[in-house]
Structure 1
Amino acid sequence: MESLPNPIDRAGVLEAFKQVADPDSALDAYVASYLWGYAQANFGPYRAERVIRLNTDLENGQNFAADLHELAEKAMTSGGNAAFEHIVKRRQANRKFFDQWGPAFATKYISFATKASSRVATTPILDSIVAKWFSEHCKEIGPLWLNWNSAGSYRRYTACMAQWAAELGIEAEQVEQLIFRRD
């Protein structure tokens, strides 16, 4: 926490993700993304702690930090869609996997992990603001479900964002940021 800028910003969170090399640093990056994502709401630390607590039971083989590290590695080597699909498959096998960690914050984690990698394209964040914008402006894409039942919505979203980014000559995450800001 001491190494993060105050106030927290995208660059500070990205720096935490560039340091991911093991479960502990993956957990540090997770905390940074939560602090950034909830910066205006002031309950990021509470939510981050709750998810860590609910997903860590080392005596029973539940290691949230190790699972985060595995997710970061998947995102950094195979891309955001593969990382999202990884969570979907794990949750299909165990509904308590990443308990109380929703897709919106998972896509923040995935987005920063992909941005920290030189091997894959940065995957944009999909949260409720972006999903609502799509429902109002892009009905032809179909609904973007912000849940763990299917990776199809996320794949449609990332494909659309990649296409728009190519047409605009910018990165997909920049398109997401424009939508988020409603520019």
Structure 2
Amino acid sequence: MSICTKLVIQMNAKGGGEPWGMGMPDALKIPWCLDMMFITERLETRGDSVAAMTATFSPSVGRCYSKVEKLPSREEVATKVADMFDDCIRKYFKKNQTLPDRIMMYRDGVGEGQLRDVYEQELVGIKASIALRYNQKNTALPKLTYIVVNKRINTRFFAKGRGDPYMNPPPGTVVDDTVTRPERQV
């Protein structure tokens, strides 16, 4: 691409255009996706951490909104998550003049000891925010998918019948059975 082409693409994006996107089959289209990330390493010596949330505003995943917040060490993470989610859902409504009928959230960086807090605090706050916004607009509640990804897992996979019993599976291997505990599939 030439410099002029790249410049025009940037101008288009800054003007609210959608210069690129992902073409997805209708069965896979999810109107609204959220990705949450918390950086828990303390900033300098102040004891603060950072929370970030990104929300898509179009089925092609070409328009996004992101929110970054500094979390003081004593502040409840669940409260900040609910506030950030509410801000994202208000921005979505402002952009699309409708609320999404399906929401998929991807929560990354959760330690083994934090799973109960995520379920009992963050998810409860998000559901309360959804109920408030959808009741205000007199709209049916959306389907919510909340995906939690653990950090520092010790699960290892080995390929059967490949000579050495401790070989890694070949690239592209999909493990789709008995990886998670059944009680975590809520």
TM range (shorter): under 0.3
Instruction: Considering fraction of residues, name the structure with more helix.
Output: 1
Q: TM-score, normalised by structure 1?
A: 0.25
Q: TM-score, normalised by structure 2?
A: 0.25
